[in-house]
Structure 1
Amino acid sequence: MSTDFTEDPAGVDRRTIMAGAAWTIPAIALAAAAPAQALSGPVSLAFDKPSYAGTLCSAISGAYVTVTSSGAPMGQQSVTVAVSSGFAFENGLSTYSGVSGSDGKVAVPTVLVKTASATGTLTASASGVSVSSPLTAPAATTTQTGRYRSFNGSGAENSGAAGSFSVPTGARVVGPLSTLDPDGTLRRLGGQAATNVTSAVAAWDHTGELAITYVYGSKAAYKLWDTNGNFYAPASGDFATVNPGALAVGPRMTLDTTRVFRLFLMSNQAPTGVTSAVGSWYSTGEPNATYVYGTKAAYGLWGTDGTFYPPASGDFDTVDSRTRAVGPRMILDSTGALRLSGSPISSGVTSVVGEWNNSGQLTATYIDGTGGHYRQWQSNGTLISSANVDFKVTAGAKVVGPRTTLDSSQVLRYLESQVDTGVSSAASTWTTTGDVQITYVNGAC
């Protein structure tokens, strides 16, 4: 799973989210220090719209505020954006600080609706000046349902691995069989797993056990369920103290708003200055992470006991400041260039998810100007061309996992086959048997 603090210029949302058509995982920007451009006159601020509306099932995304002085755009200006009660940014906070680009624009992180029928304001402030736009959300239904289905490599459905579970309206998928309610209740198959959660990511480990890493308050925690669905307390509990707004980015991994990346007991080896990170397990159980810091993209591998493994770790690419980690050794830069270990995969990419499969092979599902694509590599980076699949997608579709997309009309698809409709949130992942399991929420909001 990938989460980061860097605004996504390509519109790629990576699973923290996993909030339906807007997901995919949250993009909370972290301002980069830069000398401010000299002002030629009074500062003016303006949002791109006079008002914004969302629902419990559809976040408010794509908003931005423009900084000008005497009518000219002003870059490198610090801007603080705040949302009122009933709304929050994807990391659970109500304020965000960003720096304007050369066009004077500051992208506003995705705003989640936390309370149905909420009304409020989105406010931006800079140099003693502020501007506000109204925020609204309608009443909600009580008709949404959580579901899961599995498909094999040939696209055939495993009907014996399907089911449904109860969720409140607006629940967001955070991984296999796992959802996060608007009020912060974390659930596994509809049953309460934790409360007051602001960020979570769930994944199957290499033995088929379900693990959820989550943040609540100033704590990061981890919970594990065995292959029979039984909670396993000895391997569960808090593992780190984090600052408010920290994001879960992988198994026992978090990324703070202070750019500190943490891996359970490895705080002494945790890199700093990290703006984007995605963590996962390798097929044999080793935790690994791809992350961006400064102008470098790096990969780290740890043993199952948490011992850092330098021979397989280190920098692998030079990147721009808005680059995102999107999978193992995989990055997407601000121009839409997708690269694996520094080698180009595609350009003009608007959405992507990279993951290890159960055989220890790297996989990527992505959308570019020619459609949807699935690619697979050996662990050494050699392309397995016989596994290539190209498929049609509709405009505005987002990748939500291996071979899986969710389009702007809420149609969920496995390759080109329709899985379901009315889907507001979804995520898919590899299972230990090599199937693709899709967890999603659908129904009127």
Structure 2
Amino acid sequence: MSQEKEMLGIRDVPRFDKWMILSLQHLFAMFGATILVPAIVGLSPAVALLSSGLGTLAYLLVTRGQIPAYLGSSFAFIGPIISAKAIGGPEGVMVGTFFAGIVYGLVALGVKRSGVNWLLNILPPAVVGPIIMVIGLGLSGVAVDMAMNISLEDGTSVYSLQHFIVALFTLSITIIANMFFKGFFGLIPVLVGVVSGYIFAAVQGLVDFTAVLEANWFQAPEMMVPFVTYTPNFSWAVIFIMVPVAAVTLAEHIGQQMVLSKVTGRNFIKKPGLHRSIMGDGLASIVASFVGGPPNTTYGENIGVLAMTRVYSVYVIGGTAVIAVLFAFIGKVSALISSIPPAVMGGISILLFGIIASAGIRMLIDNKIDFGIKRNLVIASSILVIGIGGAALKFNQDFEIASMALATFVGVILHLILPDKKAAFGENQQLIKEEVNEQNS
């Protein structure tokens, strides 16, 4: 990827007025996706904004202000959060988020001591690709349910043509924005879709503005602080639901760091080091668990903004984080987000969850994984059916290994025990290893 002349370097401080505009641009790029995750899983969008901003500031601190990356709510954890919430409630989700962050920290220490090849060796494309597909396809039922059904007070749901039309309208606008909009608006198709769908739903009489009108302008978000608002309850079931997903997000993290290095013309894997970026990512999720937000991860949307604007300043990223924190304390913004109808979220989710699944397919294609080789076919088939089918190991009422975790374990174990390991890396993965080794040398 060629680098054009940068407009602002990593450590450049922009003029204040320009600074605010550039930071707001990053905020809009991540806003739609970051609030969508908590809206889907039933957490507070305002707290998600707060944890996103605080997590990004923590990331910048750990990486010594050398990597211009913004962190927001992770889509990979949507399914696990829903399952964990059913077992341990929102409090259980926070415990799972905390331990997912701890796993990042342990991996960061391992990378610092032993390099990154050991991690790449147990997570080849033939394993990670199908797991990413499971993340997207496993959520397809959630998206369709939100799009076409309305929930009743007795816990049942019924089909609604009106809601499904709103969902399809939202989906259509999002696709149009993604395919045909250029420049800044081309970077925020999710936000364009949500706003358009919201207006269309309001015209249909599906939006209740009462909470928005009654909300205060300045209002603290409903944070969940351990040992203050609740007492954490450790659960192995929740741990085994959420922690294994970190394996997938770690693989994505490495890929995004390499892309970010190419975009900016720096070597972030060498300086400040991959171990620092992984540690910062994990710390961001730990911060989220202390305030009640979903797990955080680096955002591809913001890498797109960097590539478009060639503004690489970490001060702009820091400004975005500060604005996100301030937004979390504006009560009317939180109430407005909470008033978005499920049908709008369902329309957006149909596309986003499909894109996640497609990203898994793309990983297999990009790495030229040969499914004429039996071991690749066996691994992918096992992961897909176990993950999407909802298979689980239930040892007792309080302990089970859910489908996502089980699919991950099965995929890694099959990769380690089956012969011909090289086939799982495809034709391009060896080039990635060599690039990582070259950047670390």
What TM bracket, shorter-length normalisation? under 0.3
* TM-score of the superposed pair, with normalisation by structure 1: 0.24
More strand by share: 1
More helix by share: 2
* TM-score of the superposed pair, with normalisation by structure 2: 0.25
Between the two structures, name the one with larger relative contact order (CA 8 Å, sep ≥ 6): 2
